[in-house]
Amino acid sequence: MTLYQIVIGDWSNDGHGRTETYPVECNYKPQEVQRAIIRAEKKSGVYIMSREKDKILGKYEDNLLPRDKYMKLKEIGVNFAAFEDNDVVAEFADGNEDANITAKDCAILCLEMAKTQLVGLEYKFVELETLFGESGGFIGYGCFYG
């Protein structure tokens, strides 16, 4: 298994500057997962990573998954039951036209899209220990200013 991070949000810090990072263990390398997401985008017509104008979850405070995109993703085999709280499935079952997507849901959605294109893809979100931070020490505090 390969350990890497999925960064959701403004990773380049040139906009709102907010991100959530999710460490994941996966049996495929990050580049393979990225290529698989692109294939899933093309197959479904739903864009989450590519620079398409109708990209989902790509604008500030755009956290809604429209029902038509949800249906297209289901058609290619995205497993929405893999979402941790399953609110997405419940929102559509209740007749809503859109479902709220959290940053964690977005990370899961990316991996589930990749899973439709990579045979045997397995992943698990993990917790990483932090050296410093709350465990002690103000290391490098002075490196940031302005």
- Average pLDDT per consecutive 10 residues, the chain (146 residues; last block may be shorter): 90 66 96 97 92 80 91 96 82 90 94 97 93 68 72
d(CA 131, CA 97): 44
Biggest distance spanned by C-alpha atoms of the chain: 52
Write down the pLDDT at residue 140: 73
Tell me which residue has tokens 């990209």. Answer: 55
pLDDT at 47: 95
Take residue 19 and report the two structure tokens written for it.
Answer: 């991100």
Separation of alpha carbons 90 and 70, rounded Å: 12
